Structure 1
């Protein structure tokens, strides 16, 4: 399969009042298009219509009403407000006249400068060469993950017990991330990194597809060139719902993005009333 670039995969064309996109099947997990990728396509359309004053997405909050399929889609952009420091927009991704994803997106002009204050230390990882690259097949071979052909992900081997049937049940997965086309991360492609695969549910012995219900991402600054360090942690699993909090740091040890999402998971047939680490 030809590996296209991220820029090609999120390209859009304006046709009157809507943007047309061709959703790329390679940016998918188990036959379902990746949520961060879908938000990036919508972000591309929103950025195109915003002009030069506020070129970067800084806040993206998406609701996934139904799973889009690869192929043609329309993105409808509704400006809400343009101020001195930010622009707010609503975007809807539709197929066959039905809304599949809706997002509220804030645009700003982000900088590369470090934080005025930060209370987070970057996740500690072994060097990239000591972290195995995630193959385009899910752990256990349950379903294909074409996304791993376009995203080079190397997970911390110390957190991969779930591959051998011994998940830590701490609800933490971490690793290195690069775009396989060799391009550097930017505020738009960070949306892909902030929706990492596999779901942290694998480390809780809840393997399988975990469709995103809602995701909110904050893009903090323009990343430095090179790989990202990404850490995902869960806090609670209740009634078939799993939360995931994600942090991403660049090569300068700066927090470049963070996200929280709620995903659906399939619970075992019998589970204790409460389970903790």
Structure 2
């Protein structure tokens, strides 16, 4: 599909139930992207909610879905004056693949009343390194990079030439390739950047999202978002990653933390 709104489109099929066609292009190798899957769930929840904007979502990924038909089942838990709280499950072949709690509210484009978070400083966008769909020597494709443009700052792209920094950090610019601007739902894709921070630790391979929580803070201005992600601790083949996204006006628009699986060589101290 390529176009985000089409790739996340849902069709009502019954009370609180929506059909969706999961798009295999929003994937890393043959694994559907975690941020994309949360966006599909959020899209369905938004159809039921009495408030217009996604403000928070927390999802668990008990089983990996594949491209093709699936169902999202949504239950309204509570409707208040400022928010709607919901539960939503992505089901495929009779099995829950993503289970999420969702909060909808009302966002504005206002500047923060107070913040301690300063936007990251990056080189100009054209000076950053475009992540290709075909990774040289990687042995797999990243179809996601054909629908979401990622340009990494050179400092965090050293792994591509065999020189990871071992800081556990990635940073760069993100755009939707279809030219549409970021919104509260599509920001979930940006908050799960590819490649993962494990590449900066010299660890290649799939990093499956086990649990991800995201907060959307305000409506983003048009243009790219800058995303900074860092790891805090890698223990027992489990890694946490924290992401923050700033819009073209330098305002924090979204943040997320996720718990992911990673295979650590025994020589690196993995469990």
Distance 2:246 2:137 in 1: 29
TM-score (norm 2): 0.97
Change (3 A) 1:229 1:49: same
Asked if residue 149 in structure 1 is aligned to residue 137 in structure 2, the reply is no
Aligned partner of 1:4 in structure 2 is: 2
SS of residue paired to 1:236 = strand
Aligned partner of 1:242 in structure 2 is: 239
Asked if residue 127 in structure 1 is aligned to residue 115 in structure 2, the reply is no
Kindly state the Cα deviation for residue 272 of structure 1 after the two structures are TM-superposed: 4.3
The 5 Å alignment of 1:116-195 reads: 116-138=113-135, 140-195=137-192
* Runs of 4+ residues over 6 Å off in structure 1: none
RMSD over equivalenced CA pairs, Å: 1.3
Kindly state the Cα deviation for residue 139 of structure 1 after the two structures are TM-superposed: 5.9
Aligned partner of 2:107 in structure 1 is: 110
Distance 2:100 2:136 in 1: 31
Say which of 52, 59, 62 aligns to 1:62. Answer: 59
Gaps of 5+ in 1: none
Gaps of 5+ in 2: none
Aligned length: 270
TM-score (norm 1): 0.95
Aligned partner of 2:36 in structure 1 is: 37
Say which of 254, 257, 264 aligns to 1:257. Answer: 254
Kindly state the Cα deviation for residue 22 of structure 1 after the two structures are TM-superposed: 0.2
> Do the aligned partners of 1:142 and 1:208 also contact (CA within 8 Å) in 2?
no
Asked if residue 89 in structure 1 is aligned to residue 58 in structure 2, the reply is no
Kindly state the Cα deviation for residue 137 of structure 1 after the two structures are TM-superposed: 2.6
CA distances 1:24-74 after superposition (whole Å, capped 9, x unpaired): 0110011011010011111111101114xx111111000000000000000
